[in-house]
Structure 1
Amino acid sequence: MTTARQTGTDIDESVLVEGFLSGDESCLAAVHRRWGPLVYTLARRSLGDAREAEDITQLVFLAAWRGRAGFAPDRGTLPGWLTGIARRKIADALAARTRRTELVAAAGAQLLLRATDEAVLPESAIDRVLLADEMSQLPAPQRRVLNLAFYDDLTQTQIAELTGWPLGTVKSHARRGLHRLAGRLRDDGLVGCAA
């Protein structure tokens, strides 16, 4: 009997599927070698980001391994099933990206509107000084990401390229920095609780 310890490309698909379904980790490795490039290519084309595509590829194979009992060979092929999982993971990633972008845009718009509306008021100068002071108290990575986003008008992808940080790290710094800044500004009475 052929084992999955071979390269993965010379194993009969039915043997591979049987081993995968029975929990043979060497078959999982062979499945990943055989169809990982397909999943990665789908994610890369859909997301436009190599690092995010790598993350999605890993999530797809993790989900497939954990949910392998749900695969029914009589209803379709293993690569077709993996493609379906990939499409759902890609859709989730795009939805999360949209939510993050909307959060950053809303926070930026709120600060910009407040600054524009109050630009002629003497208190606005004080607010800008307080905002700068609050920004200076953020951890350096969060402060850097927010400065690049708001003052240099860079996207998170551009910030990742500029800093050399993974896109997920940039997104985390932006989210944490905005939450921390909003909390501090709310505590100081500079922004209302409505959002």
Structure 2
Amino acid sequence: MTATQMVRPEPGAAAEADLAPATVLASATSPGRRDDQLIAEAFVRGDEDGCRLVYERWAALVHGIARRALGDSCEAEDVTQQVFIAAWRFRRGFRPERGNAASWLVGIARHKIADAHAARARQARLAAAVQSDRNTAPRLPDGRLAQQTVDRVVVRYELSRLPRVQREVLRLAFYEDLSQSQIAARTGLPLGTVKSHARRAMRTLRLRLEQSGC
């Protein structure tokens, strides 16, 4: 089994996932589990059996922590898969002789949970922006929000995600209609730097808008 084939924890593991975090972690790192280090070592070597055993051994732990943190079982399943895929990709950075696999996986899970919360916040901001424009935007005869309004909101959101200097270069170019020479004079940046920032910003913006369907 490869990392991309990992699926949700088996239903039989739900009882362990329902325990309090400290209890679950204590169980997962119990001194009676003498084979845990051997499993982790096989995982680090890249053995597929090691990958399968690590997932079977600690998936319920990771899923339980993610479910409590996010309050959503489906999101918890996504985070669980992300954790084990990340663990597989970066397994050579783990040293079984220096620490236990459960704590390592929990550390990865905390980062992925934080990413999930950040994604929620981004979606909430975008939804609020769409709703704000919905209140004032022109509507098509059938009552649907004009597509150009949605596109404008998405473009504005993606612009806000660019690095500050790249965002400023595009703002001056598109909203103040300045040439690249004028932008260089306005910002004090070398002309070559302005061109480089504009090129990178446009490439990033184009890729993100393609991914969002605009």
Runs ≥4 in structure 1, deviation > 6 angstroms? none
Gap regions ≥5 residues in structure 1:
1-8, 116-126, 139-179, 187-192
- The 5 A counterparts of 1:44-55 are 44-55=67-78
TM-aligned CA distance change 1:184 to 1:100, over 3 Å: closer
1:27 equivalent among 46, 50, 64: 50
Matched positions, count: 125
1:60 equivalent among 64, 83, 106: 83
Between the aligned partners of 1:10 and 1:81, the Cα distance in structure 2 is: 16
Matched, 1:183 2:162: no
Between the aligned partners of 2:102 and 2:43, the Cα distance in structure 1 is: 12
1:51 alignment partner AA: C
2:83–2:108 contact (8 Å) kept in structure 1? yes
User: Once the two structures are superposed, what CA deviation does each residue of 1:102-147 show, in whole Å capped at 9, x if it has no partner?
Assistant: 11012102322x26xxxxxxxxxxx344582556xx8xxxxxxxxx
1:101 equivalent among 124, 143, 153: 124
User: Once the two structures are superposed, what CA deviation does each residue of 1:135-164 show, in whole Å capped at 9, x if it has no partner?
Assistant: 6xx8xxxxxxxxxxxxxxxxxxxxxxxxxx
- State the 1:73 CA deviation: 2.3
Between the aligned partners of 1:80 and 1:44, the Cα distance in structure 2 is: 17
Between the aligned partners of 1:128 and 1:48, the Cα distance in structure 2 is: 36
2:105 alignment partner AA: L
CA root-mean-square deviation:
3.0
Partner of 2:109: 86
Between the aligned partners of 2:93 and 2:71, the Cα distance in structure 1 is: 30
Between the aligned partners of 1:45 and 1:24, the Cα distance in structure 2 is: 31
Gap regions ≥5 residues in structure 2:
1-31, 155-173, 176-214
TM-score for the superposition, normalised by structure 2: 0.51
SS for the counterpart of 2:41 is helix
Aligned-pair identity (%) = 45
TM-aligned CA distance change 1:91 to 1:59, over 3 Å: same
2:41–2:96 contact (8 Å) kept in structure 1? no
TM-aligned CA distance change 1:21 to 1:49, over 3 Å: same
Partner of 1:122: none
